[in-house]
Structure 1
Amino acid sequence: MTNTQFTQIITQHNTSLYNFALKFTKDADDANDLLQDTMMKAIKFLNKFEEGTNIKGWLFTIMRNTFINNYRRRIKVQSIVTQEEDISSYNLLHSSTRNDSETSFAMGDIKRALSGLTDTYSVPFVRYVEGYKYEEIAIELGIPIGTVKTRIHQARKHLQKQLQMYKERIN
């Protein structure tokens, strides 16, 4: 089946997929975004679809998983923002200029430490920090899950070593 044929088949399910997305998101714009993400993933993973199976069910599964993964990423980001707000309110005794300059130095150190990694290690690590699962990273990079885990572990070790001074400040 060609990409064009596949696209024609999956677009027949747009209305039912949109309604399904609307139940998840409760917002028309978010439902459209989820529908678009689902269609893009379906086209990207066309080779994973087995002809003769239920394409509508396959699309609904992609949509559900996409929604769940996006939700997890949002929760992770909100958690990080909340922690940063707690930290900044804890440090209200320090002037904001001092905090800004310290943050700038820390971010610079983190960027330098990350730049010391090859793409082999930095790409899986950054994807993991962004909230992607090991399986998703493995599929995206076309490598085994064990390799993804090893590369993330090695990146962490490298970053811990490079950013040791911040650990010593906390203790």
Structure 2
Amino acid sequence: MDKRESSKEMLISDALLEVPREIDPLVDSVSLDAERKELSVAQRRVWIEQLVVDHHQSLYRFCYRLTGNVNMAEDVLQQAYLIAFQRIGQVKDPAKARSWLFTVVRTTFLKEVRKRREWVFTDVEVEDSRVPDRSYRLEVDSQRLQVALDALPETFRIAVVMHYQQQMSYREIAKQLEIPLGTVMSRLSRGKRMLKSKLLVLQKQFDSEE
């Protein structure tokens, strides 16, 4: 077993160790009936273990594309697996389980970056004559910044986060997300405009409350 395979097995094991167990010798498989409303702890564990084994490689590759960092990708993915275990009952159609897992990973990634406060938006200052002599940088107020980010469509939000929070270049983002360089530039350009607009609205609201 090579180092990559060993790391993969370790990550899966570490994640699943955190999944609670329920002693139920009668449960050795899980029904994937779309009509099933509730799953026991043992059933959820069986299902999530199988999903992790089946899709880990693709999920890890996707997570790494989002983070651009091996350690962060592993942390995000492990947390995503735990969340998936807790919410696996939401999946009513087994055929949609894979896409649901990818959604969990994306959501977990975005929640993780919200915790970080080292944003550098030096080229996204709000240019507005109504804000005189103020170098309004988006890193000033992390709370308003997060509100503005949450308002962006996911494709633009991820591009903005990767470029400004993760400090990834256009080419790095294009490579990680497997999209054309022009698409990255377009998403960042539109994302910045939407972000500026939202921040100006929030600034006006803040000023009116003072």
TM-score class normalised by the smaller sequence: 0.3 to 0.5
Q: Could you say which structure has the higher helix fraction? A: 1
Relative to the length of structure 1, the TM-score reads 0.42
Relative to the length of structure 2, the TM-score reads 0.35
